[in-house]
């Protein structure tokens, strides 16, 4: 596996010591990244995602485990001896150099001939839509333009892997959305492996081929964006990625690929994509708010999972209504398209395939 992965971490741990106490910033992390993949490390502050990225880049050396890049062990090698480049949150542009000089800097350090540097820099300026800005200094650029310069500088030497540490967090929402789309297109055009650190779930879902969700220095789940969202393995992942309803109940039957769970006297049919629980065990069910259909929706309520309830609260968020509905099985979040009046009471339904048995208790 190590030889056909562009990046492979094998049981790596990073420990910081404070007042005689060992604190694990990353604990027994194993992950593999495929060549040409857009791979995201997603988690909140303190989850270990940046520490993991820094171990890949050589800015941190793990106490335990090994780091491989391109099949070669690089665990103790410094950053300049790894064929990776890092784009930091602060961009780290040289303020006294022009855009052209910033982009050309890695080639000059590598002692590439001037005859080769000039066309490569011009190509980068075109690729990153920086034509006409080559003579400006970073202070004369917008945040989005500075980000493009940082990316151009990182990619001009054609590294095997590009590491990105919260690169869009300093941009406002509109520019962030624009640069995010450009970033994905750039990765697909170049075919370079991107490893991307973010705390923004929407960003990770939009950009990634695969996502590693992290918490407390460990990986909670790895999967495609659809896997992570539709088939979370724990309440933590379900809550961190989007919104979710959780129902606590007891398994009363297992029929083929469906599990029947009794919740407050109501039988609910669900799927167990990760592990089928035995009858009699207490489990947590998860269903997304947008998967709950009301009696006035286009689909109606033609399924075996149904309940009814009173609308207690409505939040208008543009094209959507976020509703809190009190039902016999508990309070449910329901997301509906806005437009028209919402009835004070709703009949709700959801498909068994949209109701997930989680492997860990809530």
Domain interval for residue 164: 7-237
User: Do 152 and 249 belong to one domain?
Assistant: no
pLDDT of residue 163: 95
Three-state SS letters, 40-56: EEECCCCCCHHHHHHHH
Query: Going by C-beta distance under 8 Å and a sequence separation of 6 or more, which residues neighbour residue 132?
Result: none
Of 175, 206, 237, the residue at which a domain comes to its end is 237
pLDDT tens sequence across 275-285: 899 999 999 99
Q: Are residues 23 and 91 in the same domain?
A: yes
DSSP 140: G
Q: Are residues 248 and 128 in the same domain?
A: no
How many residues does this entry show for the chain?
362
pLDDT the model gives residue 301: 59
Low-confidence ranges of the chain (pLDDT < 70): 1, 3, 170, 295-302, 359-362
Domain boundary (237, 256, 285) is at 237
pLDDT in tens, 201-246: 999 999 999 999 999 999 999 999 999 999 999 999 999 998 999 9
**What are all long-range contacts of 235-242, with beta carbons under 8 Å and residues at least 24 apart?**
235/284, 235/286, 235/358, 235/360, 235/361, 235/362, 236/360, 237/213, 238/286, 238/356, 238/358, 240/42, 240/43, 240/44, 240/201, 240/213, 240/215, 241/42, 241/201, 241/205, 241/213, 242/201, 242/288
In the block, tokens 């309940």 appear at 307
The pLDDT score that the predictor gives to residue 298 is: 47
DSSP state of 341: P
pTM metric for this prediction: 0.88
- Under DSSP, the state recorded for 290 is G
Nearest alpha-carbon partner for 274 in 237, 243, 245 = 237
Which of 212, 237, 262 is a domain's end point?
A: 237
Q: What local confidence, expressed as pLDDT, does residue 331 receive?
A: 96
Residues 194 and 233 in one domain: yes
The pairing of strands 84-87 and 161-165 is parallel
Same domain, 335 and 189: no
Residue 74 and residue 148 share a domain: yes
3-state secondary structure of 224: coil
| Angle formed by the axes of helices 114-127 and 99-109, nearest 10° | 130
- What's the CATH code of the domain at 323? 2.40.50.100
Q: Three-state SS for 198? A: strand
Q: Are residues 228 and 251 in the same domain?
A: no
Q: Specify whether 231 is located in the same domain as 256.
A: no
Interaxial angle between packed helices 143-155 and 173-190, expressed in degrees from 0 to 180 and rounded to the nearest 10: 20
What is the number of structural domains in the chain? 2
d(CA 263, CA 286): 12
**119 φ, ψ (degrees, to nearest 5):** -65, -35
Question: Which CA distances in Å does 230 have to 183, 241, 273?
Answer: 25, 10, 10
* CATH code at position 155: 3.40.50.300
In angstroms, the CA 50 to CA 45 distance is 9
User: Residue 155 half-sphere exposure, CB side, CA atoms within 13 Å?
Assistant: 21
């Amino acid at each position: 596996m190590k030889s056909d992965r562009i990046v492979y971490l094998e049981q790596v741990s990073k420990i910081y010591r404070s007042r005689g106490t060992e604190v694990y910033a990353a604990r027994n992390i194993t992950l593999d990244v495929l060549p040409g993949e857009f791979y995201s490390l997603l988690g909140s502050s303190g989850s270990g995602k940046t520490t993991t990225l820094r171990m890949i880049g050589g800015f941190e050396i793990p106490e335990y485990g090994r780091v491989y890049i391109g099949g070669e062990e690089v665990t103790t090698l410094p950053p300049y001896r790894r064929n990776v480049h890092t784009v930091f949150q602060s961009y780290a542009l040289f303020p006294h150099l022009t855009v052209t000089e910033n982009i050309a800097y890695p080639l000059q350090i590598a002692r590439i001939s001037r005859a080769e540097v000039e066309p490569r820099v011009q190509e980068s300026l075109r690729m990153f839509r920086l034509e006409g800005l080559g003579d400006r200094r970073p202070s004369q650029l917008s945040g989005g333009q500075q980000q493009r310069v940082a990316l151009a500088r990182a990619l001009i030497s054609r590294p095997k892997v590009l590491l990105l540490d919260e690169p869009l967090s300093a941009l406002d929402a509109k520019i962030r959305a624009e640069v995010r789309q450009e970033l994905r297109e750039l990765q697909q055009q170049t075919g370079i492996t991107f490893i991307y650190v973010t705390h923004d779930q929407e960003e990770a879902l939009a950009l990634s081929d695969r996502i590693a969700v992290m918490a407390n220095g460990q990986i909670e789940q790895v999967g495609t964006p659809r896997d992570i969202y539709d088939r979370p393995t724990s309440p933590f992942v379900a809550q961190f990625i989007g919104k979710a309803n959780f129902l606590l109940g007891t398994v009363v039957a297992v029929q083929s690929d469906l599990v029947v769970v009794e919740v407050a006297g109501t039988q609910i049919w669900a799927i167990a994509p990760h592990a089928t629980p035995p009858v009699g065990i207490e489990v947590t069910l998860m269903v997304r708010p947008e998967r709950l259909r009301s009696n006035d929706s286009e689909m109606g309520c033609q399924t075996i999972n149904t309940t009814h309830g009173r609308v207690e609260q409505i939040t208008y968020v543009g094209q959507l209504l976020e509703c809190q509905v009190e039902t016999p099985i508990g309070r449910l979040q329901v997301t509906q398209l806005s437009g028209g009046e919402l009835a004070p009471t709703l009949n709700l339904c959801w498909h068994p395939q949209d109701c997930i048995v989680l492997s860990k208790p809530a």
